[in-house]
Amino acid sequence: MSITRRDVTLGGLSLLAATSGTTVSRAELGSFLGIGEGLEDFWLATDAYIFGYPLVTMEMTRRVFTNVAKPEATRGPMGQIVKVRSYPNASYRDVTAPNADTLYTTGFFDVGKEPWVLSIPDMKGRYALLPMLDGWTTVFQVPGKRTTGTAAQTYAITGPGWKGSLPAGVKEYKSPTSLVWLLGRIYCTGTPEDYAEVHKLQDEFKLVPLSSYGKPYTPPEHTVDPSIDMKTAVREQVNRMDAVAYFRLLCRLMVDNPPATADAPQLAKFARIGIVPGQEFDESKLKADFLKRVPEAAVDRIMLQFKVNKDMKDESGWGFTTKTGIYGTDYLMRALVTAIGLGANRPQDAVYPTSLKDADGRKYNGANKYVIRFAKGELPPALGFWSLTMYDADYFFVNNPLNRYSISARQNLKSNPDGSTDLYIQKDSPGKDRESNWLPAPAGDFILMMRLYWPSEKNPSIINGSWKIPPVKKV
């Protein structure tokens, strides 16, 4: 077996993650990496990379998602609402792990110069949530059925340092950063009739600068930037950046998107290696060899959180966390969620357990048949909705004769005589009498993802651990 530098990096980082972070362990890490003098600076540089990963990723996402002349499909210019009109099908490849439960109503906007006003129509009791993320991926506000009800609402999203008066009936939401991402979701059953109802609601949403509120408003024309890579996945674009370009961008972004007050101790450390908000990154303060190796080592540290972070749970073959949306100074968790689930909600709004292996620890494959059984009264406890989605090995929908990509209570699930409910996960139909409970699988490997929107916080609850997801068993 050949051992690459990446393998050695992972080994050293695993060692450090498993120890108390003493001087000895860092020295051992240095020997693994072949780094002697200056190991502390190298480690600090990976800390800075991890710290800035959400902000850099959000900016790169904004560039790609807004680099169109007008709203189309899932993209739209800055300051314009994108109204996704239907669920993607099995040919969709833009974003991994798409959902077939909610229609997105989303958009990026900049509140650095003036506030923007969001008008939400009367949702007529329909479940919806409209999380607003700042540049660091923190969900700073989330109006919706759980928090503010479904009546018509109007909010002014104001930027850092903004002071002023707002029109009557407009409530202020203060964003910690200039960059804001509205990532609204509206529940929809997917029938033509329900699509039409949700489309009417989407068309009533309005987003305008405060100076144009209450006046006729036409968004300015947007010029497409041909230099922006619109094909390569955003995460791949970020991970490909060399350290100098990465830190230069981070220093610029932190001017309009200031770090939190609690981040001050970290920023003071980063200044020692030339990373200061608003100043040009001083690459002379780090060895050139260090700079070449920082991105890979930092990304390895991020992904190692799957194994070492106590907040990443593994229950009955299901992996999930309830530490999303608000991160404080847990920079590694914030970076991990950015890498694997950018735009994640607060756990009070959604939890996303994911399973790659069955109860016996084997990868799922369509050559087998599986069953997940919920005991009587123990279907997923969610006040919004729950669903179980089928993905192929690359996290995309699976083509099937029912065009069913997820299964939930809206399929009118049939119960067993004892009140329990079985979901059949397999390639071929389990029989007409069981098709309501069938989640079609591909011929090859696949992945399962459960969504619990507005999970119950009272027992039973996935948030406090009083409800456990049952294992998926091979028949």
For residue 10, name the pLDDT band (cuts at 50, 70, 90): very low
Mean pLDDT of 146-161: 97
Residues 381, 444: one domain? Answer: yes
Q: What is the per-residue pLDDT for 36?
A: 58
Q: Each residue of 101-142: pLDDT tens digit?
A: 999 999 999 999 999 999 999 999 999 999 999 999 999 999
At residue 103, what are phi and psi to the nearest 5 degrees? -100, 130
CA distances from 446 to 10, 90, 217, 364, 376 (A): 27, 14, 47, 6, 27
Relative orientation angle of helices 288-303 and 39-66, to the nearest 10 degrees: 70
Q: Each residue of 44-78: pLDDT tens digit?
A: 999 999 999 999 999 999 999 999 999 998 899 99
- The whole-chain average pLDDT of the chain stands at 92
Residue 64, C-beta contacts closer than 8 angstroms, at least 6 positions apart: 75, 228, 229, 230, 234
Q: At 183, which CATH number?
A: 2.60.40.1610
Q: What is the per-residue pLDDT for 18?
A: 41
Residues 152, 39: one domain? Answer: no
Residues 108, 41: one domain? Answer: no
Question: What DSSP designation does 62 have?
Answer: H
Residues 22, 83: one domain? Answer: no
Confirm whether 221 is domain-assigned.
no
Residues 113, 174: one domain? Answer: yes
End-to-end Cα spacing for the chain: 36
For residue 30, name the pLDDT band (cuts at 50, 70, 90): low
Residues 352, 454: one domain? Answer: yes
Domain end marker among 272, 292, 308: 308
Confirm whether 149 is domain-assigned.
yes
Confirm whether 313 is domain-assigned.
no
Residues 87, 37: one domain? Answer: no
Confirm whether 226 is domain-assigned.
no
Q: What is the per-residue pLDDT for 433?
A: 95
Q: What is the per-residue pLDDT for 37?
A: 63
Q: How far apart are CA 335 and CA 453, in angstroms?
A: 23
Residues 184, 294: one domain? Answer: no
Mean pLDDT of 438-466: 96
pLDDT at 20 over 90: no
- 136 neighbors 50 (Cβ within 8 angstroms): no
Which of 10-14, 326-330, 341-345 has the least mean pLDDT? 10-14
Instruction: Show the domain range for 98.
Output: 68-212
Residues 76, 54: one domain? Answer: no
Residue 309, C-beta contacts closer than 8 angstroms, at least 6 positions apart: 321, 332, 333, 336
For residue 340, name the pLDDT band (cuts at 50, 70, 90): confident
Residues 73, 197: one domain? Answer: yes
Q: How far apart are CA 222 and CA 282, in angstroms?
A: 34
Q: At 386, which CATH number?
A: 2.60.120.600
Q: What is the per-residue pLDDT for 1?
A: 30
Residue 125: CB atoms within 10 A of its CB come to 10
Q: Residue 17 has which token pair?
A: 């993650």
Q: At 244, which CATH number?
A: 1.10.3360
Is this structure's pTM higher than 0.85? yes
Q: Is 243 helix (H, G, I), strand (E, B) or coil?
A: helix
Q: Residue 23 has which token pair?
A: 């001087």
- 326 neighbors 142 (Cβ within 8 angstroms): no
Residues 426, 377: one domain? Answer: yes
pLDDT at 319 over 70: yes
pLDDT at 329 over 80: yes
Q: How far apart are CA 215 and CA 223, in angstroms?
A: 24
Confirm whether 411 is domain-assigned.
yes
Sheet (strand 438-440) strand order: 438-440, 421-426, 370-374, 472-474
Q: Each residue of 343-394: pLDDT tens digit?
A: 999 999 999 999 999 999 999 999 999 999 999 999 999 999 999 999 999 8
Residue 105, C-beta contacts closer than 8 angstroms, at least 6 positions apart: 81, 82, 83, 84, 130, 182, 184, 185, 186, 202, 205
For residue 2, name the pLDDT band (cuts at 50, 70, 90): very low
For residue 229, name the pLDDT band (cuts at 50, 70, 90): very high
Q: Where do we find the tokens 């968790």?
A: 333
Q: What is the per-residue pLDDT for 92?
A: 85
Q: How far apart are CA 378 and CA 370, in angstroms?
A: 19
204-235 burial: b if 16+ Cβ within 10 Å, else e: ebebbbbeebeeeeebeebeeeeeeeeeeebb
Q: How far apart are CA 73 and CA 260, in angstroms?
A: 34
Question: What DSSP designation does 137 have?
Answer: S
- 167 neighbors 125 (Cβ within 8 angstroms): no
Mean pLDDT of 450-472: 96
pLDDT at 34 over 90: no
Q: What is the per-residue pLDDT for 23?
A: 38
Q: What is the per-residue pLDDT for 211?
A: 97
Q: How far apart are CA 449 and CA 473, in angstroms?
A: 15
- 313 neighbors 468 (Cβ within 8 angstroms): no
Confirm whether 223 is domain-assigned.
no
For residue 290, name the pLDDT band (cuts at 50, 70, 90): confident
What's the domain count of the chain?
3
Mean pLDDT of 163-170: 96
Q: How far apart are CA 372 and CA 422, in angstroms?
A: 6
Which of 32-41, 49-58, 183-192, 336-345 has the least mean pLDDT? 32-41
Phi-psi region of 271 (alpha: psi -120 to 50; beta: other; left: phi over 0): alpha
Confirm whether 319 is domain-assigned.
no
Mean pLDDT of 442-450: 97
Q: How many residues does the chain have?
A: 475
Mean pLDDT of 446-452: 97
Residues 182, 269: one domain? Answer: no
